[in-house]
């Protein structure tokens, strides 16, 4: 069972008002849940060499990469990035051992993960970060391809097809319309990822191109999600090929 706990984190500078407002919306849509806010004052970054390096370099976007798996491993619950919108109560997923979703049809979303405490899969992902063989892989990537690679390596039945699937007993990976992009599927649409790109100073929505993306997303969110998925699939394939050539994906 997954406990009714929401973990989230913010580091490096004061939390913006729009983020605070989003968290207040979480609390309205998740009544009876416990919320734990992680920051520099209550999380020891020195426990993880990867995180320690990133924090020392003020690369705050990577500071929660290992944190999310660490707090889920210790306490259980759901970890949320602060650019997630919660649309419906996540209680229907509490009877699972692990809950993940697709970001693109070939890439795992890591901005929303649910887990029971002491979950073997979560522990193995932490171990992956601790393995020095993956330094080149980790230092230049977000954790989405890392977790995707981990699942491919460890679960023969896991498929990069964007479809909901059971990879182990009570361990589910859901289609991208559950937690990332909206759709007309009445059984999905529990959450949405805004991709505010705060880890990269919001560059994804900067300039004229960024403004056009905002308009399309607001006017035609489902179409926008489908377009973003196609671009994301292509980008992820390029990353996988790049790191295969480097010897990281064996």
Tens of pLDDT, residues 22-64: 999 999 999 999 999 999 889 888 877 777 777 787 777 777 8
| pLDDT of the residue at 150 | 86
> What number is the average pLDDT over the span 214-237?
80
- pLDDT of the residue at 49: 75
Please give the pLDDT value at position 243. Answer: 66
| pLDDT at residue 250 tops 70 | no
- Report the C-alpha gap between 159 and 145 in whole angstroms: 14
pLDDT of 195 > 70? The answer is yes
Rg (Cα) of the chain, in Å, rounded?
17
Cβ–Cβ < 8 Å for 184, 111 = no
pLDDT digits (tens, 9 = 90+) for 117-135: 999 999 999 888 776 555 5
Q: How far apart are the first and last CA of the chain?
A: 33
Strand order in the sheet with 34-38: 34-38, 5-9, 77-80, 107-115, 98-104, 171-174, 165-168
Give the burial string for 142-154 (b: 16+ CB within 10 Å, else e). bbbbbbbbbbbee
The answer to whether 108 touches 148, Cβ cutoff 8 Å, is yes
pLDDT confidence band for 199 (50 / 70 / 90): very low
Give the per-residue SS3 of 101-163.
Answer: EEEECCEEEEEEEEECCCCHHHHHHHHHHHCHHHHHHHHCCCHHHHHHHHHHHHCCCCCCCCC
Q: Where are the alpha helices (DSSP H) in the chain?
A: 17-29, 49-56, 65-75, 120-130, 135-139, 143-154, 176-179, 207-219, 221-245
The pLDDT tens digits for 133-162 are 555 555 456 788 889 888 988 999 999 999
């Amino acid at each position: 069972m997954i406990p009714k706990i929401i973990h989230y984190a913010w580091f490096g500078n004061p939390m913006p008002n729009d983020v605070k407002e989003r968290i207040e919306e979480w609390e309205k849509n998740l009544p009876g849940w416990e919320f734990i806010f992680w920051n520099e004052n209550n999380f020891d970054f020195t426990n993880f060499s990867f995180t320690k390096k990133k924090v020392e370099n003020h690369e705050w976007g990577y500071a929660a990469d290992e944190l999310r798996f660490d707090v889920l491993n210790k306490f259980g619950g759901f970890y949320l990035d602060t650019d997630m919108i919660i649309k419906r109560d996540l209680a229907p997923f509490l009877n699972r051992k692990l809950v993940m979703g697709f970001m693109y049809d070939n890439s795992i979303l890591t901005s929303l993960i649910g887990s029971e405490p002491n979950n073997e899969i979560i522990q193995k992902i932490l171990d992956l970060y601790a393995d020095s063989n993956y330094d080149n892989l980790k230092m230049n990537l977000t954790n989405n391809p890392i977790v995707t690679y981990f699942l491919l390596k460890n679960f023969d039945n896991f498929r990069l097809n964007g479809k909901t699937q059971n990879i182990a007993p009570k361990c589910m990976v859901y289609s991208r319309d559950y937690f990332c992009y909206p759709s007309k599927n009445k059984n999905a649409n529990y959450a949405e990822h805004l991709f505010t790109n705060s880890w990269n100073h919001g560059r994804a929505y900067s300039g004229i191109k960024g403004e056009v993306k905002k308009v399309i997303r607001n006017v035609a969110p489902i179409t926008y999600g489908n377009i973003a998925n196609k671009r994301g699939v292509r980008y992820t394939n390029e990353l996988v090929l790049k790191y295969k050539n480097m010897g990281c994906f064996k």
